[in-house]
Structure 1
Amino acid sequence: MTKVGQKSWDAVYTGHFLVDIDGWQISIFNDCDQLDYCEECLSPDGRRWSFDPGDRFGADPIALLSTWERQTLERLLKAL
């Protein structure tokens, strides 16, 4: 996992933080230094998924994480 852009997780503080994981670009919302939700994902072949909270068929992948997984992901994001 690598960050896309110059700003660190702490520097963004409130806003979208972009990461690249094996060619997937993922936009995660940082809400006052806390992992909030996944905005969208872009696959290496150009497919785009947007996780709209009003979409009854979509599920935010962050909401599906266990407490341990969420804490681990937050630690990894803060370390970038």
Structure 2
Amino acid sequence: MTALLTARDVCQRLREAALGVLMFNRSETPADTGLVAVDIEGWRLLLDFEGGRLHHCEQCRCPDGREWQFNSRYGTDPVNLLSTWELAQIENLLKL
């Protein structure tokens, strides 16, 4: 059985993108969903981004196939682990 990703694994990719260490590419998604697909060097994330604010990470899949899913009742959201500056950097990347 393959181990699942943790919120910290996903947060680390977001941090590295915020710092410019990893390439951050936004994919085109329907605007009415409020969800934005991004690729961070093979890590595919679906982010809840609406009104210029990043609310949470919905899901993530890394290149080796491991996954992380948002659970509003249990667990930690990777976005909540970001510093204020890191969150602002990711929001700026999402606005571009």
What range describes the TM-score normalised by the shorter chain of this pair?
0.7 to 0.9
1:36 Cα offset (Å): 0.6
The answer for unaligned runs of 5 or more in structure 2 is 1-23
Distance 1:74 1:33 in 2: 7
Query: How do 1:10-49 and structure 2 match up within 5 A?
Result: 12=31, 15-49=34-68
Q: Which structure has more helix as a fraction of its residues?
A: 2
Gaps of 5+ in 1: none
What percentage of residue pairs aligned between the two structures are identical?
A: 41
Superposition misfits of 4+ residues, deviation over 2 angstroms: 11-14
Which structure carries more strand by proportion?
1
Match of 1:50 among 69, 73, 82: 69
TM-score, normalised relative to structure 1: 0.79
Q: Which has the higher contact order (CA 8 A, sep 6+)?
A: 2
Q: For this pair of structures, how many residues does the alignment match?
A: 73
Could you say what the CA RMSD is over the residues aligned between the two structures, in angstroms? 1.7
